[in-house]
Structure 1
Amino acid sequence: MSLTATRIHADTATVTVASQTAAITDWSARYFGPWWNAAAADDPGPGSLADGGGLVLADVDPGRVDDIAALVADCGPEETIYANARTLVGRADGITYAVQPEERIGYQANGRRLVIVGGELEPVAVAAARLARELVRGQLLADGWTVLHASAATQNGDAVLTLGDKGAGKTTTGLLLALGGWGLLANDRVFVRPEPDGRVRVLPWPSAAALGLGLLDATGLYDQVREKVLAGGQLHPTQHPTVTQALVDDRREPLWKDTGKELKPQFFPDQLGSWLGLTLATEARAAGLLFPTMSPDAVPALVENGRTLTDADVFDQKTEDRYPDIFDLTPTTATGTQALTEYLARLPRRSMVLSHDTNASAALLTKTAEELITTR
């Protein structure tokens, strides 16, 4: 049976997602889109494993899940949590087998060649995109890139990176600048790499964008998102069902889990353009750093708080908060982190207080960001 394929390029990294089901490869094309230059490919071979890239073969095949589960059982599996699901992992003859029994998904990995099978289309499509991104990530890390916990917005190729702890306003800053005409490079994390000429290149990290109900309402985006949902539009499946129901019921106040974490609408990357009208940028060079603090009732203003780049802003093997590397896709040693910190330390920076007054916050951000890229 013929395969459909989506090829993904990010700098020197290449991954191909192939499937007998076009909806699976379409999902990856939609997920990575312009951020990582995803496009339909004629076949899964050239440009993937043959050129040192990666290959993900994904299909709906319930019988194959049982076959992989049997192989995992024969390996004396270890149990872990992967992608929020109980996962059994076994290894034999250089091949990693994994199965998620409740989700009915099986995995088989041999180097950069991954096979994913499952009982239903959507979980397989989600898993294929996740592993494609991890394959790209592994190649970029091996090539000297580092993952930085920051949002990024660009103007004429210059990027302003926004750093801070959770809740500091990284996503809000990126969104407000993008609504003001800047290109959105990332809303939560980016790839960065110092170059010999002193520049720091920046690449996007495609992911579902979490934007709170209150933020959508304050920026005037809530009504158009609700209209899309009422018309049958589907947001990312990681979104909690209560968020969808809140949009249907026209409830705008923030939703919270018992743990204190806010439940937010989760947008596919392509919906940032088609639903919200934002422009996505594909690459830039770092020109300045912003360190916001969110204070709901404050008057937005520049402040002196002494915040600088810290180890917590850089994701490495010790601080990465995503998925355990059960398929051995991540290099064991990072390169360029010290040089990166030194290069970023030379950039102009500003600290500021933002508030729930989005108009005043947006005005301050735009003025400050434009000053940063002109004084670099």
Structure 2
Amino acid sequence: MKTLVSLFTFLITLSVMAQEKMFVHTATSENINGNFTIIDHPDLNENPNACLTYNHYFNPEGVYNNNIDGLWYNSGASKWTIYNENFSEVMVENASFAIYIADEGKCFDHIAVPANIFGAETDIDHPELNNSNPGPYTFFSSYYNPNAIYNPSNYGMNYVSSTNKRSIFSESITTIPEDSAYKILIATSATENDSHTTSVASISGNGSVIDNPYLNNNPNALFVFTHYYGLGGASSEVLLDSPLGIYYDGSHWSIFREDLGVMPENVVFDIAIMDREILAVETSEITNTIALYPNPAIDNIQINGSTELTSISIFNILGQQVLKHQGDSNSETINISHLPQGIYIAKVVSEDATQSIKFQKK
């Protein structure tokens, strides 16, 4: 178990290596153009060589985004974008993304070509990854540039023992498109790196709760992750063909399935954690902590906030609103005894924040 000394060292490292950062981007009507959303960040603007990756982020708006997407540098706007691989699918308004800007020296592009494509996987040839299992914590995103290839598959990583190389593989066992590109970054000591394995104890419906001292009770944290197939041996050779995202419930962070399917056991994720960079355009969600208890609940839930709670909407996992409650204090009790057992999302609006909290009705 890591000590308080390692935590202190981690925080000092974060302050020194300020060039690496994580922040939240939310797709809005102002930055959505068809199937993509334009990212506006000073470290990324006019920087086609930037090193970045991302994951879906359910908070703060509580929006599901069951779309496969990738990175594209829009040279016309001189800005990076996240785009839906299905060109006809308009970007989901209020969908959010956790974006990691990493050291450009630890980033490289991988192109799938006939020499490295083996059916549903493409082998990566890189000195820090070759002959190294598990090897360094590594993260990636599909990348439209430089070959303008749409790539509508969910991907993970694994280690190919026959070639002693890391590979990117299609979770649907679909043949890798020739000339498809991937932006790959290797995490440094600027992030707290860990692995999470889903289990009966951690799984709640479509998500798996992470127990990590840097994440627990830390709404200011962010992280990115990669599914590492087979890292835990044969039991972890589990396919997970769904868009995935991260979620904070008021005390713990989770990785969840956007398609609302049940999270399987023994899936291994590599994760890289940082405290988020607060941009001027972000909401005040993280400065106003909102708590919901008990969780799981049977008859009533209690929701407390540091400011007045103005409205609480409860949605089932299909995204259907099943209850609406108007509030006028910083502590509200809601009767949920009539709701069927299952997983629900409470979207809580206060005077100065919006927060979505997942809970279980027993």
Q: Scaled by the length of structure 1, what TM-score is found?
A: 0.28
Q: Scaled by the length of structure 2, what TM-score is found?
A: 0.29
